A and B are shown apart, each in its own frame.
Chain A
Amino acid sequence: MSRSYLPHWMHWLGSPPNFYRFAGALRPWLIAAALVCAAIGLYGGLVLAPPDFRQGDAYRIIFIHVPSAWMSLFIYACMAVTGLVALVWRVKLAEVIAMECAPIGAAFTLITLATGSLWGRPMWGTWWTWGARLTSELVLFFLYLGVIGLYNAFEDRRRGARAASLLALVGIVNLPIVHYSVVWWNTLHQGSTVDWLHLSQSSIAPSMLWPLLVMTLATHLYFFASILGRARTGLLSLEGGKQWVRSLVTETSR
């Protein structure tokens, strides 16, 4: 057995019925913690924190924009790592988690693009610029869409998951290359180098920093809660013929 050096609890958790119960038990706690953190963070960010002396109240978009941007990268990394596990060891659970990461990541990337656009409009008078961060984020969005599209184009979903995992790994090599090539491209075309966040990142006051960090924690907790729920659903559809799913379905109907 090639997986024998993994710790025992990983074997236990890698089994779909065990994971299904474990995720179901953990999920309510995670989402509750995420909601509490979001409430505290938003109260701190929208009410307690003073307006920025240069940007006024428009900067308050930072409390959702920056955590979403961090999440879009973090989730991609999660997807690539679980995708690698899926490709090397062919763990069914890893395949499911990698593929269920993609829609959440795409959602956070979409939020980042939309809120960034809404922030850029009052600050720099434009909805969109071809800055390095923006372009990389857009490319990231297309990478997510590619992974989702490839996975859904397969009849056999386990094979689709492996193909899409390989695409995710190709993408993680590609992402830094895109970022640096766009930086180089921007130095070539001077004048369009308005990069959002540069103004606000110079020095951030503690009263603005702590809500940002709490919101980051909230989005991480949300992601873990969401991925557990999605993985449960994914396992249910993938293991439809197995006995544990059948008994589960018939039990809950009565």
Chain B
Amino acid sequence: MMQFFAMGGFAMYVWPAYAVFFIVLAWDWFSPALRRRRITRALRGRIARERTRNTRATRAEAPT
């Protein structure tokens, strides 16, 4: 097992290379999820604001 991690003396080159591979791809995979959460949150806020504005507008119109 130790022999596997030693990589024949090249451990300090092989493992960082694999680390770069997985870290960069993990960034690529998770960054859209964060962006998506931001978008849905903004959209929900907008919809909620519009809804209150609409109900207020109908209430104001009602007496006339």
Query: Contact at A236–B17, with CB atoms within 8 Å?
Result: no
Knowing A56-B9, A57-B14, A58-B14, say if A111 contacts B20 (CB, 8 Å): yes
Query: Using Cβ atoms and an 8 Å threshold, which residues of chain B touch A61?
Result: 13-14, 17-18
Determine the residue in chain A with the shortest Cβ distance to B8: A57
B39-56 CB contacts (< 8 Å) to partner A: 39-40, 43-44, 46-47
Shortest Cβ distance from residue A42 to the other chain B in the assembled complex, whole angstroms: 8
Query: Contact at B8–A230, with CB atoms within 8 Å?
Result: no
Query: Using Cβ atoms and an 8 Å threshold, which residues of chain B touch A111?
Result: 20-21, 24-25
A90-144 CB contacts (< 8 Å) to partner B: 103-104, 107, 110-111, 114-115, 118-119, 121-122
Knowing A122-B10, A252-B40, say if A233 contacts B16 (CB, 8 Å): no
Query: Contact at B10–A56, with CB atoms within 8 Å?
Result: yes
Query: Using Cβ atoms and an 8 Å threshold, which residues of chain B touch A236?
Result: 36, 39-40, 43
What's the dominant secondary structure at chain B's contact region?
helix
User: What CA separation (Å) do A103 and B9 show in the bound complex?
Assistant: 34
User: What CA separation (Å) do A104 and B18 show in the bound complex?
Assistant: 17
Query: Contact at B13–A103, with CB atoms within 8 Å?
Result: no
Other-chain contact of A118, B17, B43, B44 (Cβ < 8 Å)? B17
A45-77 interface mask toward B, CB cutoff 8 Å, 1 = contact, 0 = none?
011000100001110110011001000000000
Query: Using Cβ atoms and an 8 Å threshold, which residues of chain A touch B21?
Result: 64, 68, 111, 115
B interface, CB within 8 angstroms of A: 4, 7-10, 13-14, 16-18, 20-21, 24-25, 27-29, 31-33, 35-36, 39-40, 43-44, 46-47
